Amino acid sequence: MARYILKRLLLMIPVMLGIAILIFTIMYFCPGDPAALMLGAGATQVEIAQKRIELGLDQPYFIRLLQYLKQVFIDLDLGDSYFYGTSVAAGIMSRMRYTLLIALSSMGLQILIGMPLGIVAATHRNGLADRICMMIALLGVSIPGFWLALMMVVLFSVKLGWLPLYGVGGIQYFILPVIANSFAGIATQARQTRSSMLEVIRSDYVATARAKGLSEREVLFKHALPNALIPIITIVGNGMGMMLGGAVVIENVFSIPGIGSYMMSAINGRDYPIVLSGVLVLGVTFSFIMLLVDIIYAFVDPRIKANYERKAIRRKKSAA
Amino acid sequence: MLETETNKNAFLSVRGLTVEYTSDGEIIQAVNDVSFDLYKGKTFGLVGETGAGKTTIAKSIIRILPQPPARVVSGEICLDGQDLLTLEEEKMCKIRGKKISMIFQDPMTALNPIMCVGKQITEAIRKHEKLGRRQATQKAKEMLETVGISGERYHEFPHQFSGGMKQRVVIAMALACNPDLILADEPTTALDVTIQAQVLDMINDLKNKYSTSMIMITHDLGVVAEVCDYVAVVYAGRIVEMGTKEQIFTDPRHPYTVGLFCSLPDINSDTERLCAIEGLPPDPSNLPKGCAFNPRCPYVTEACSGGHEGYIPFVDLGDGHMCRCTNLEKIERGDNLEHAAVRG
Segment B74-112, tens digit of pLDDT: 888 888 878 888 888 888 888 888 888 888 888 888 888
**How large a percentage of chain B has pLDDT more than 70?**
91
At residue B1, the pLDDT reads 45
At residue A311, the pLDDT reads 66
Q: Are residues A169 and A138 in the same domain?
A: yes
Residue B130: Cβ within 10 Å count? 7
Least confident range of A25-39, B130-144, B208-222, B303-317: B303-317
Q: Are residues A129 and A232 in the same domain?
A: yes
| Closest CB to B96 among A203, A205, A212 | A212
At residue B2, the pLDDT reads 57
Query: Is the CB of residue B40 less than 8 Å from the CB of residue B229?
Result: no
Q: In whole angstroms, what is the distance from residue B144 CA to residue B66 CA?
A: 30
Residue A262 has pLDDT above 50, yes or no: yes
CB proximity B127 to A under 8 Å: yes
User: CA angle, corner B283, sides to B280 and B286, nearest 5?
Assistant: 140
* ipTM of this complex: 0.79
Q: Compute the CA torsion angle A8, A9, A15, A20 (nearest 10 deg).
A: 170
Q: Do A208 and B101 touch (CB under 8 A)?
A: no
Q: Could you tell me the pLDDT band of residue B124, with boundaries at 50, 70 and 90?
A: confident
Instruction: Tell me which DSSP letter residue B151 carries.
Output: G
Mean pLDDT on B124-147: 85
- Alpha-carbon distance A306 to nearest alpha carbon in chain B (angstroms): 10
Minimal CA–CA distance to B216: which of B55, B70, B76, B66? B55
Q: In whole angstroms, what is the distance from residue A251 CA to residue B112 CA?
A: 44
Query: Is the CB of residue B275 less than 8 Å from the CB of residue B344?
Result: yes
Q: Compute the CA torsion angle B307, B311, B314, B315 (nearest 10 deg).
A: 20
Residue B335 has pLDDT above 70, yes or no: no
Cβ-based neighbours of A138, under 8 Å, separated by 6 or more: A187
Q: Are residues A158 and A113 in the same domain?
A: yes
CA distances from B343 to B240, B253, B329 (A): 22, 17, 20
> Pick the residue with more confidence: A268 or B338?
A268
- The tens digit of pLDDT for each residue in B224-238 reads 888 888 888 888 888
At residue A220, the pLDDT reads 87
Q: In whole angstroms, what is the distance from residue A66 CA to residue A69 CA?
A: 5
Query: Is the CB of residue B127 less than 8 Å from the CB of residue A212?
Result: yes
Best residue in B24, B93, B116 for a mutation probing chain A (most A CBs within 10 Å): B93
Residue A262 lies in a domain: no
Residue A27 lies in a domain: yes
At residue B344, the pLDDT reads 38
Q: Are residues A248 and A314 in the same domain?
A: no
Q: Are residues A146 and A184 in the same domain?
A: yes
The 3-class SS string of chain A reads: CHHHHHHHHHHHHHHHHHHHHHHHHHHHHCCCCHHHHHHCCCCCHHHHHHHHHHHCCCCCHHHHHHHHHHHHHHCCCCCECCCCCCEHHHHHHHHHHHHHHHHHHHHHHHHHHHHHHHHHHHHCCCCHHHHHHHHHHHHHHHCCHHHHHHHHHHHHHHHCCCCCCCCCCCCHHHHHHHHHHHHHHHHHHHHHHHHHHHHHHCCHHHHHHHHCCCCHHHHHHHHHHHHHHHHHHHHHHHHHHHHHHHHHHHHHHCCCCCHHHHHHHHHHCCCHHHHHHHHHHHHHHHHHHHHHHHHHHHHHCHHHHHHHHHHHHHHHHHHC
Half-sphere CA count of B44, side-chain side, radius 13 A: 27
Mean pLDDT on B20-36: 83
At residue A320, the pLDDT reads 59
**How large a percentage of chain A has pLDDT more than 70?**
97
At residue B343, the pLDDT reads 43
Chain B CA closest to residue A228: B114
Q: In whole angstroms, what is the distance from residue A27 CA to residue A81 CA?
A: 15
- Alpha-carbon distance B118 to nearest alpha carbon in chain A (angstroms): 14
Q: Dihedrals φ, ψ of A166, to 5°?
A: -160, 175
| Closest CB to A306 among B66, B101, B159 | B159
At residue B106, the pLDDT reads 83
Mean pLDDT on A176-198: 87
**How large a percentage of chain B has pLDDT more than 90?**
0
The dihedral sign for the CA sequence B315, B321, B322, B326: negative
Q: Do B94 and A213 touch (CB under 8 A)?
A: yes
At residue B330, the pLDDT reads 67
| Closest CB to B112 among A205, A300, A306 | A205
Residue A119 lies in a domain: yes
CA distances from B69 to A65, A191, A214, B72, B92 (A): 63, 22, 21, 10, 20
Q: Are residues A169 and A216 in the same domain?
A: yes
At residue B5, the pLDDT reads 65
At residue A92, the pLDDT reads 83
Residue B300 has pLDDT above 80, yes or no: no
Residue B15 has pLDDT above 50, yes or no: yes
Q: Which residues pair with B234 in a beta bridge?
A: B239
Last residue of a domain, one of A226, A257, A288: A257
Least confident range of A165-169, B118-122, B189-193: A165-169
At residue B113, the pLDDT reads 87
Average pLDDT, chain A: 83
Residue A263 lies in a domain: no
Q: Do A212 and B157 touch (CB under 8 A)?
A: no
| Closest CB to A212 among B59, B123, B160 | B123
Mean pLDDT on A105-125: 88
Last residue of a domain, one of A227, A257, A287: A257
- Alpha-carbon distance A112 to nearest alpha carbon in chain B (angstroms): 23
Residue A133 lies in a domain: yes
Last residue of a domain, one of A204, A224, A257: A257
- The tens digit of pLDDT for each residue in B316-330 reads 777 778 888 777 766
Q: Do B170 and A215 touch (CB under 8 A)?
A: no
Best residue in A205, A206, A299 for a mutation probing chain B (most B CBs within 10 Å): A205
At residue B78, the pLDDT reads 85
Mean pLDDT on B184-188: 84
Q: Are residues A250 and A128 in the same domain?
A: yes
Q: Could you tell me the pLDDT band of residue B31, with boundaries at 50, 70 and 90?
A: confident
Instruction: Count the domains in chain A.
Output: 2
User: Which domain, by its residues, includes A118?
Assistant: 96-257
Q: Are residues A138 and A201 in the same domain?
A: yes
CATH of the domain at A211: 1.10.3720.10
Q: In whole angstroms, what is the distance from residue A149 CA to residue A260 CA?
A: 15
Cβ-based neighbours of A200, under 8 Å, separated by 6 or more: A206, A224, A225, A227, A228
Strand-strand pairing, B230-235 and B213-218: unpaired
At residue B332, the pLDDT reads 57
Mean pLDDT on B296-309: 72
Q: Could you tell me the pLDDT band of residue B69, with boundaries at 50, 70 and 90?
A: confident
